[in-house]
């Protein structure tokens, strides 16, 4: 259930108060959001305005409490001389809304929601229903949001607290496209506990509060942050939409630039494709080639590399470990191997001890003499046409990816700890010249000290 401070903050974000307000609370629980909304209405709407609340709740026990709360809202309004009428629908919102949205009819001026979060399986009835209205999504929260948009009238406002997972990643690609075609994003609030040692596990941090307006022209977006639900350190700034969704980004990632990346522009000048590079997930899935892997190097085998071979920034192969160190080269495995060369490698999953989400290493072939390498699936590999890359580029990319500025940048668009090849493909990089200069610098220093890296990167802010 939404805590009261958050519910009141959400209700405070609505800006239009017409004389007749029709509000929707889909998946209303016991009605915390409706209650906060009614309080805002009584405070802000003109005397004599009317509010109609439609609350959907499927769960019978919650619906019982909701009925009492809605009744209380109506009586409080009466005492304050306001007019509020409420309606409880103890029904399935997805079924009702997909049906209703296919016909013209009453639409809502305001929607406030904290929807359920649950995966929708491919075969579920919900998927079929949602397809009828052109929505393709994998999670209930996105379905609730899409149906809210569908049932909102033009210039209507929607305020939702939802996971930020839809902002990036391929699973939500179609959903983002569907959404951005219909609404303008006007405000995103993030719970940003940066001071609390990057506490990734906080539930709040994985959620955002978002205000959308239907059918209006997209303008600047307010990005606000607070450490927690008390909003005591609330800060906001206005950001051009081009910083939220980059105009050339076909994936339409929604960035949330809470960390002003000062002077970072020139560090993010190029795409990976501009640099003539590609990124792939490590092609060797070890259990599929189990028969061909070896605990230790043998004749006819080549190194099989895992993240633990690069632990703490030091390359250490072969290494005693429960995982194999080598893979045989034969007709079965050859297609999964990459030729000897320089590569920039990143871990797909950062461990709890790591402060940064992005952790990159250089694979230096002078330290690993073999014709081919096997890269295991928990790594991402930056390469050029499945071949190695220029040594200074490999080192430069690694330094860049290991910098604090890139970590902050990455956090602006990703709420989770996993780093996928798509994320690295979508990210922006410095020019070839800057990367090579960074690579030359690190080649002579071989440093992995964070302060050294960050100071060096700073030199290129205004390059
Ligand atoms: C995360 S809770 C939030 C409750 C409330 N909006 C709040 O902010 O306190 C989501 C609610 O949606 C309800 N729900 C789940 N699936 C539903 C459906 N298909 N139709 C209507 N309500 C549903 C759940 O029972 C639950 O009460």
Report H helices in 383-449. Answer: 391-401, 404-413, 421-426, 432-445
Whether residue 265 is contained in a domain is answered as: no
- Ligand 1: distance of its center to the CA of 422 in Å? 32
Whether residue 463 is contained in a domain is answered as: no
Same domain flag for 212 and 304: no
Q: How far is 136 from 124, CA to CA, in rounded Å? A: 12
pLDDT of residue 345: 96
Q: 87 or 354, which is more confident? A: 87
Mean pLDDT of 260-272: 70
Q: How far is 7 from 116, CA to CA, in rounded Å? A: 16
Whether residue 448 is contained in a domain is answered as: yes
pLDDT of residue 259: 64
Our measurement of the distance from residue 91's CA atom to the centroid of its chain's CA atoms, rounded to an integer in Å, reads 31
Query: Helix axis angle, 450-458 relative to 391-401, nearest 10°?
Result: 100
- Ligand 1: distance of its center to the CA of 411 in Å? 29
pLDDT in tens, 1-43: 899 999 999 999 999 999 999 999 999 999 999 999 999 999 9
Q: How far is 22 from 111, CA to CA, in rounded Å? A: 9
Pocket of ligand 1 (CB under 6 A): 1-2, 27-29, 32-33, 56-59, 62, 92-94, 114-116
Residue where a domain stops, chosen among 258, 291, 324: 258
Residue where a domain stops, chosen among 258, 291, 313: 258
Mean pLDDT of 257-283: 81
Same domain flag for 286 and 389: yes
Same domain flag for 241 and 164: yes
Whether residue 124 is contained in a domain is answered as: yes
Whether residue 352 is contained in a domain is answered as: yes
Tally the domains of the chain: 2
Whether residue 330 has pLDDT greater than 90: yes
CA atoms within 13 A on the CB side of 446: 5
Same domain flag for 426 and 299: yes
Phi, psi of 344 (to 5 degrees): -95, 130
pLDDT of residue 263: 47
Q: Quick check: 23 and 34 in contact, CB under 8 A? A: yes
- Ligand 1: distance of its center to the CA of 124 in Å? 18
Coil/strand/helix, residue 168: coil
Q: Which of 1, 58, 64, 125 to mutate to test the pocket of ligand 1 (most atoms within 8 A of CB)?
A: 58
Kindly state the tokens that stand for 68: 């009492």
Same domain flag for 72 and 179: yes
pLDDT in tens, 435-460: 998 999 988 876 678 888 888 887 77
Q: Nearest C-alpha to atom 27 of ligand 1 is from which residue?
A: 29
Q: Quick check: 325 and 303 in contact, CB under 8 A? A: yes
Whether residue 263 is contained in a domain is answered as: no
Same domain flag for 245 and 328: no
User: Around Cβ 377, how many Cβ atoms within 10 Å?
Assistant: 16
Same domain flag for 101 and 213: yes
- Tell me which residue of 352, 343, 444 sits closest to 401, measured CA to CA: 343
CATH number, domain of 330, equals 3.90.220
Listing DSSP states for 217-258 in one string gives: ----EEEEEESSTT-TT-EEEEE-HHHHS-TT-TT-------
Whether residue 149 is contained in a domain is answered as: yes
- Ligand 1: distance of its center to the CA of 57 in Å? 6
Mean pLDDT of 145-168: 95
pLDDT of residue 462: 47
Mean pLDDT estimate for the chain: 90
Same domain flag for 19 and 158: yes
Same domain flag for 311 and 404: yes
Percent of the chain with pLDDT over 70: 93
CA distances to 362, 376, 411 from 341, in Å: 10, 16, 31
Whether residue 199 has pLDDT greater than 60: no
pLDDT in tens, 241-255: 988 998 888 889 998
Largest alpha-carbon pair distance within the chain?
Answer: 88
Whether residue 201 has pLDDT greater than 70: no
Mean pLDDT of 101-113: 92
Whether residue 352 has pLDDT greater than 70: no
| Domain range enclosing 294 | 278-457
pLDDT in tens, 209-235: 999 999 999 999 999 988 888 899 899
Residue where a domain stops, chosen among 200, 227, 258: 258
Same domain flag for 88 and 213: yes
Strands (E), 343-423: 343-347, 360-363, 372-375, 379-383
pLDDT of residue 195: 43
Sheet holding 293-294, edge to edge: 293-294, 326-328, 301-305, 372-375, 337-339
Whether residue 266 is contained in a domain is answered as: no
Same domain flag for 231 and 287: no
- Ligand 1: distance of its center to the CA of 229 in Å? 20
Q: Place 258 in a pLDDT band, splitting at 50, 70 and 90.
A: confident
Whether residue 261 has pLDDT greater than 60: no
First to last CA, the chain: 49
Per DSSP, 46 falls in state P
Q: Quick check: 405 and 457 in contact, CB under 8 A? A: yes
Q: How far is 446 from 366, CA to CA, in rounded Å? A: 14
pLDDT in tens, 368-393: 999 999 999 999 999 999 999 999 99
Same domain flag for 98 and 163: yes
CATH number, domain of 180, equals 3.40.50.150
Sign of CA dihedral 370, 376, 378, 381: positive
């Amino acid at each position: 259930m939404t805590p009261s401070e958050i519910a009141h903050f959400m209700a405070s974000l609505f800006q239009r108060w017409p004389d007749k307000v029709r509000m929707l609370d889909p998946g209303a629980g016991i009605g915390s959001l409706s209650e906060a909304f009614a309080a805002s209405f009584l405070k802000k709407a003109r005397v004599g305005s009317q509010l109609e609340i439609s609350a959907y709740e499927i769960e019978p026990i919650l619906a019982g409490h909701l009925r009492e709360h809605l009744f209380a809202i109506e009586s409080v309004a009466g005492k304050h001389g306001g007019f509020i009428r409420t309606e409880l629908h103890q029904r399935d919102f997805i079924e009702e809304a997909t049906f209703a949205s296919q016909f013209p009819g009453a639409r809502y001026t305001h929607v406030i929601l904290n929807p359920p979060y649950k995966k929708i399986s491919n075969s579920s009835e919900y998927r079929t229903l949602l397809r009828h209205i052109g929505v393709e999504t994998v999670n209930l929260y996105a379905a609730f949001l899409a149906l809210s948009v569908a049932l909102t009238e033009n210039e209507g406002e929607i305020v939702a607290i939802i996971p930020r997972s839809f902002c990036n990643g391929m699973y939500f690609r179609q959903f983002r496209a569907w959404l951005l075609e219909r609404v303008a994003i006007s405000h995103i609030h993030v719970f940003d506990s940066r001071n609390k040692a990057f506490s990734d596990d906080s539930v709040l941090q994985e959620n955002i509060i978002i205000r959308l307006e239907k059918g209006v022209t997209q303008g600047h977006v307010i990005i606000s942050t607070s450490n927690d639900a008390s909003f005591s350190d609330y800060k906001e700034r206005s950001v051009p939409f081009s910083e939220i969704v980059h105009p050339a980004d076909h994936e339409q990632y929604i960035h949330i630039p809470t960390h002003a990346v000062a002077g970072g522009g020139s560090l993010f000048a190029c795409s990976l494709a501009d640099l003539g590079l590609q990124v792939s997930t490590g092609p060797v899935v070890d259990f599929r080639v189990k028969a061909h892997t070896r605990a230790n190097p043998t004749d006819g085998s080549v190194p099989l590399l895992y993240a633990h071979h690069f632990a703490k920034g030091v390359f250490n192969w072969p290494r005693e470990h429960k995982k194999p160190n080598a893979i045989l080269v034969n007709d079965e495995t050859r297609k999964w191997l990459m030729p000897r060369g320089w590569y920039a490698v990143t871990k797909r999953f950062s461990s709890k001890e790591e402060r940064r989400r992005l952790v990159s290493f250089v694979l230096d072939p002078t330290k690993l003499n073999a014709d081919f390498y096997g890269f295991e699936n928990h790594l991402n590999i930056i390469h050029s046409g499945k071949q190695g890359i220029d040594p200074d580029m490999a080192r430069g990319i690694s330094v860049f990816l290991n910098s604090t500025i890139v970590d902050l940048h990455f956090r602006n668009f990703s709420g989770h700890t996993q780093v996928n090849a798509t994320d690295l493909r979508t990210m922006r990089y410095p020019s070839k010249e800057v990367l090579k200069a960074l690579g030359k610098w690190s080649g002579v220093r071989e440093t992995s000290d964070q302060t050294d890296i960050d100071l060096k990167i700073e030199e290129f802010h205004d390059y």
